Amino acid sequence: MIFTRKILGIILIGLILASFADLLASSLKPAHLYADSLKKRSTTLSLPWEYHSGDNIEWAEKDFDSSAWDTLKTIILTDESDFDSWNGVGWFRRTIVVDSALMNRPVAFLMRHYGASEIYLNGKLIHKFGKAADNLNNEEIYQPRNIPISVQFDNDSVNVIAVRYSNFHAANDKEWFSKWFPYAGFQLRIADLNGSIIDAVHNEGMTLSINIGISAIFLALAFLYFILFFFYSMKKENLYYSLFTLFIALTFLLQMLNRFNHTSLAFYIFTNSLNSVLVLFIFPSYLAFLYSIFYEKFPKQFWFFTIGAVVLSVTSYYLAQDFESVFRYLILAYIFISTIEGLRVIYISIRKKKSNAAIIGIGVTIFAVFIITMFILGVTGNANINSLWGIVLFFLGLISLPASMSVFLARDIAVTNKRLKEQLETVKELSEKQIRQERKNAELKLQAELAEAENKRKTKELEEARQLQLSMLPNELPKIPNLDVAVYMQTATEVGGDYYDFHVGLDGTLTVVIGDATGHGLNAGTIVTATKSLFNSYAQNPDILFTLAEISRSIKQMKFKRLSMCLSLLKIDGNKLRISAAGMPPALIYRAADKKFEEILIKGMPLGATDHFPYQLRETELFSGDAMLLMSDGFPELFNEKKEMYGYDRAKETFFEAAESSAETIIETLKRKATEWANGKPPDDDITFIVLKMK
């Protein structure tokens, strides 16, 4: 993960700076190398060097006068100002003084960087890592990762090391580079040659052996238990254990693959990001295994851990650069809490004397001790996995849980087979004919009872909802001198909760509302009842947006949970039209003067879904012959027998064809088209039309 790589880089840099703080005071005075000190530890030349941007091969010469150069640390942290001025290529020079014991004796140069470099000693090229260049197209990066390079000083005690270093990825896209890498520049160490070679071989061999061995073992376990689940899917614990071992195997496999990658930053980023995700998902699969064994159904906290892994994976990818320390502790806390949850499950299971709890408990306890120890060391910054006790703890912690799980699953298979054999022997003693008949009769009786009960429940609920829905509708249509008004509603088998209503003010203003409640049955009827009451209270108010806001606020306070109300609300005063909508299909207006229609599409959240939504208001005018169609989504989303939807385009065309007619004729045309399209298939949702025709 991003923060992990950065933290490791920063810790490494901190250790280097702390170890060689005495060199800081000397600034650019020559660094001194002593044979005795190299045997004990390496010397890191990462404090300020003489630096010059650009590219000139003459800058490698020993006698070149670089006194006018700037000074710069070779490790350029991405959150420092020096990184902002990095232009892609530059030269670094450092004078070192070696004691006589190191003259004509090979030492090891160990380089680490994300770009490309050339190392010169007294003007002579001694090694290249990648291909340093003066532009991105010619540059070939190489990540050396402290590969020992043999270098021999001559008889002169004063030597000049020059490094030509290029990194145009960091220069051309600073934001991208700083997101994934902790620093630009390089780190050069000088160490005893024999010791460096032995350490490199030892560390590389041990690392590859661990990664290959663990990934192979866990991949085999993942495959084996997935096959067991595949052939017997009732045992869900086999699947969760397979996922658990698969995630562990893939994390080590990716680490191994990444060690072979020296030239691709993209692959480096991909493997580290994916590895972080895999590490997080080890713990939900670990808990799923425990829950599947000791719980009849997964507890709610399982979804907390699963969603937590997803959220941490996604948010850390995008935000960890800005909240690095926060995400580090969040993930450590997530791992710690997951481990404690596993211990809690085992503790309760052992207390309740559940089968196999003790077997799994041994592995879970050792695994928890390992995770908690690593957690404490990670928080305090004292983790050292390369020590003997660290390696022992690592293997015990990693192997303990899979070992106990494997013992449990193997024992479970053996017990299951034993019980199955006993049951088969019992079954043979019974009459096969009697068993089949009794089973058949019981199943038929149960199915009949369930079907009858379900049918009664649905019939009663649908009828109650339908009656409630119809009772909310106005008894008669408003009579407006300059308007022809017609409405139609067809309720579906599953009541969807469509609603329409009218109000005529004392000044003759007509207020029209059409809505569609989310949900079905009595729930939809309940929210329709609430909406009608609110409409009656606010219909007289001339401010449409205020009315929508008040209705939305009131529905929100009623705490209908996931229920809300899609609504269109309009007012017609003379020929002036004002309209707003919350989640409803667009209103269609046919203009008789030029025989075209307009679509008023107003986007908005359904009422009651959120607080303080900025609903929009549209205004226009209606003239003689103009027709306006308001509808719920039941008509355009009507399906035929071929599961084809009528669609909004067909709905517009149907309205356009009949728009010259009266309001009632337009309604009849829409009804006829809907009937022809459904061809006897009951609608899945209510269908509601309101047509307003200017006389």
| Predicted structure pTM score | 0.51
Distance separating alpha carbons of residues 599 and 194, to the nearest angstrom: 81
Please write down the HEC assignment for all residues of 147-159.
EEEEEEECCCCEE
Give the model confidence (pLDDT) of 626-658 as tens digits.
Answer: 999 999 999 999 999 888 999 999 999 999 999
For residues 584 and 602, what is the distance between their CA atoms, to the nearest angstrom?
A: 8
378 has a pLDDT exceeding 80: no
Query: Residue 43 and residue 156: Cα distance in Å, rounded?
Result: 19
Between strands 483-490 and 49-53, the pairing is: unpaired
188-220 pLDDT, tens digit per residue, is: 988 888 888 887 777 777 777 777 888 888 888
How far apart CA 425 and CA 541 sit, in angstroms, is 80
**SS3 string of 449-476?**
HHHHHHHHHHHHHHHHHHHHHHHCCCCC
| Averaged pLDDT, 564-584 | 94
Rounded CA gap, 219 and 233, in Å? Answer: 20
For the segment 562-575, the average pLDDT, to the nearest whole number, is: 92
Q: Quick one: which of 180, 175, 359, 325 has its CA closest to 265?
A: 180
Q: Rounded CA gap, 278 and 667, in Å? A: 58
CA 339-343-349 angle, to 5 degrees, is: 145
- Rounded Cα distance, 613 and 337, in Å: 38
pLDDT in tens, 147-175: 899 999 888 889 999 999 999 999 888 88
- How far is Cα 163 from Cα 91, in angstroms, rounded to an integer? 6
Of the candidate ranges 370-384, 484-498, 577-591, the one whose mean pLDDT is the lowest: 370-384
Q: Measured between alpha carbons, how far is 456 from 473 in angstroms, rounded to an integer?
A: 27
Judging by beta carbons within 10 Å of its beta carbon (0-12, 13-18, 19+), is residue 410 exposed, middle or buried? exposed
Average pLDDT over residues 462-491: 81
- What's residue 653's pLDDT? 93
Cα–Cα dist 687/664, whole Å? 16
Structure confidence at residue 17 (pLDDT)? 41
Examine the pLDDT at 14 and tell me if it is beyond 60: no
The CA distance from 293 to 406, in Å, is 13
259-304 confidence digits (pLDDT tens): 788 888 888 888 888 888 888 888 899 899 889 888 888 998 999 9
Give the separation between CA 455 and CA 433, rounded to whole angstroms.
Answer: 33
Q: Are 602 and 619 in contact, with CB atoms under 8 Å apart? A: no
Tell me how far apart the alpha carbons of residues 138 and 131 are, in angstroms, rounded to a whole number: 8
Question: What pLDDT is stored for residue 463 in this prediction?
Answer: 67
- Residue 79 above 60 pLDDT? yes
**Closest listed residue to residue 49, CA positions, set 71, 17, 27:** 71
What does the pLDDT average to over 217-244? 88
Please, are residues 168 and 136 in contact by the beta-carbon 8 Å criterion? yes
Taking residues 368-373, report their average pLDDT: 74
Q: Which residues contact 149 (CB under 8 A, 6 or more apart)?
A: 108, 109, 110, 111, 119, 126, 127
Strand partners, 110: 148, 189
Q: At what angle do helices 265-294 and 388-429 cross, to 10 degrees?
A: 40
What local confidence, expressed as pLDDT, does residue 620 receive? 95
At 21 the pLDDT is 37
Average pLDDT, the chain: 83
For 367-379, give one letter per residue: b (16+ CB within 10 A) or e: bbbbbbebbeebe
**Rounded to whole angstroms, how far apart are CA atoms 141 and 642?**
58
Q: What's residue 434's pLDDT? A: 72
